[in-house]
Structure 1
Amino acid sequence: MGELVTLDGFPLSGVTRDGIWKINSLPGWNQRPPVKRNRESRTSGDGSFKTPVFYENRLITINGRLFTKNHDYLHQAEDMLNALGHRGGVKLLVEGHGPTQWATVDPRDSPDLTAVTGNFLQFQIPLEAIDPFKYGESYAVTGNTTDAASLFHRGTVSAWPVVTVSASSSSGYTLTLNGRQVVVTRAIASSSPHEIDFRTGILRVGGSVVTGGLSTANFSPINPGMPQNMSISTGSGSYGSITVRYSDTYI
């Protein structure tokens, strides 16, 4: 597979109408972001109390160069580079450097553009991913009260799914993954599916956030590199189905 780097769908490597794009380096892309945690020192003991490990934003810089067909194309490329992703929330996609991965990025500063000659441009684009994880292939796996959803991903860290539940049950339902249960006591109608984000624990009904609908919220991620099943059970012998959406996840 050849190298392909795109920002908001625009190719920054390969041949385009502007000329020949080359990526020199992508610092921050293949490095793990800095760890952040709230340390609480043991005043009468060694070290600190155990606290969760989280990550800072991922800081990425695209360093590249462009050989344009003529001087006019060089200036057009400068305008394009200044506009790419300027409002943030765009996809940075990298192929040809291991598994295909992407992240959602915002601008961290203005691009640094240097016209070395009339048709040779060097550029540096500083970006920031407020979600420090990188993602790969995405999946939508279905299951029901008879057949569990069979889940697997090829990433390197745990993936958090978003689950859509369709059922008709006045007593709610239970989702089970890796022995952990999420018990939803809110009634569900077939005309109004539920959506549960396992990362945030938020339950939405008809697109709106609802509270008080969970009696047990023991959320589990989908661990990398091993098969897992998510099952649904409903009260009163009613039928329910689920669609589990997630992506290969990397740090």
Structure 2
Amino acid sequence: MANELVTLDGYPLTGATRDGVWKRLGEIEGWWDSPPPRRQRADRTNGDGSFSTPIEYGNRLITYEGRVISKNHDYLHQAAGILTALGHRGNSKFLVQGHGPTQWAMVDPRGPVKTSFETDSYLNFQIPLEAIDPFKYGESYTVAGSSSTPAALFHRGRVPAWPVVTVTGTSAGGYTLTLNGKSVVVTQALVSGSPHTIDFRTGILRAGGAVVRGGLSTANFSPVNPGLSQNMTITAGLFTAKYSDTYI
């Protein structure tokens, strides 16, 4: 694809760089597939089948194979050095552009980077990666609202997106956030200069960056569902909701 761009930790694995011309070989294994679904099966003792339990997903395993063609042997070894260092500490962004919506995931190394010097000017390589968060993400959004103005949340992904909400202002009695008819009631006092952050995926509340235990009396968390606009409201203070297009 002429407009394809694949990057790892910000470095392009396709196209021309100082060190050579990078090309993808074959498909990106594990990128277009769904990660393995998993669930705790609970058999019905006196009935057919099993009880319904939540479906979760295992880690996404990705293998990227490519080729580098350099103008000389020295530049080829520089490219090889870049390959072995890319993402070696983990928590690196792997991004794919040019095949529908741009998508990315945070990845860790899953095994050694393998390089094979075919000639003095080109090599083949393989990078095994693992995304412990199996979801892929796209465009990110920051939407603001207040007690007088609801925020309209929308995303173009294919599965629900979980927002991270930051609340500022002052309210000694706390406040209530509502999304899709589900309410999160915060009893922790909201103090000026000590914003609250609520991760709707994990349900963790932080005040001034510190985790707060027992600061919620009701915790009915809702995601932002794909493809339609949903209002988030708050009873006191100001808030911003951050989330991204989300895919599986």
TM-score by length of 2: 0.98
CA distance in 1, matches of 2:123, 2:191: 59
1:156 aligns to what? 158
Counterparts of 2:158 and 2:111 in 1: how far apart (Å)?
30
Distance (whole Å) between structure 2 residues aligned to residue 133 and residue 153 of structure 1: 15
* Counterpart secondary structure, 2:224: coil
- Classify the secondary structure of the residue corresponding to 1:171: coil
| 1:197-250 alpha-carbon deviations (Å, 9 max, x no partner) | 00000000010001111000000000001000100003xxxxx11100000000
In structure 2, the residue matched to 1:66 is 68
Provide the residue aligned with 1:23 in structure 2. Answer: 24
Q: Secondary structure at the match of 1:117?
A: coil
Residue 43 of structure 2: aligned partner: 41
CA deviations 1:147-167 (Å, max 9, x no partner) are 101110000000000000112
Is the partner of 2:118 in helix, strand or coil? strand
Picking from 91, 99, 104, the partner of 2:93 is: 91
Q: Does 1:5 align with 2:6?
A: yes
Distance 2:124 2:219 in 1: 51
- Show CA shifts across 1:159-211 (max 9, x none): 00000011211110000000000000111112211000000000000100011
Residues 1:250 and 2:247 are matched in the alignment? yes
SS at match of 1:82: helix
How does 1:68-83 map onto structure 2 within 5 Å?
Answer: 68-83=70-85
Cα deviation for residue 21 of structure 1 reads 0.5
Tell me the CA shift for residue 121 of structure 1. Answer: 0.7
Match 1:101 to one of 100, 103, 115: 103
**Structure 2 letter corresponding to 1:178:** N
- The CA distance in 2 between the partners of 1:187 and 1:75, in whole Å, is 58
- 2: CA distance, partners of 1:23 / 1:187: 53
Could you list the runs of 5+ residues in structure 1 that have no partner in the other structure?
A: 235-239
Give the match for residue 237 of structure 1.
Answer: none
How many residue pairs align between the two structures?
A: 246
Distance 1:61 1:212 in 2: 43
Of 229, 232, 239, the residue aligned with 2:231 is: 229
1:117-196 paired onto structure 2 within 5 Å: 117-196=119-198
Alpha-carbon distance between aligned partners in 2 of 1:8 and 1:198, rounded to the nearest angstrom: 27
Q: Counterpart of 1:215 in 2: which secondary structure?
A: strand
Q: Secondary structure at the match of 1:76?
A: helix
RMSD: 0.8
- State the 4+ residue runs in structure 1 displaced beyond 6 angstroms: none
Give the Cα separation in 2 of the matches to 1:98 and 1:114: 31
Determine what percentage of the aligned residue pairs are the same residue. Answer: 65
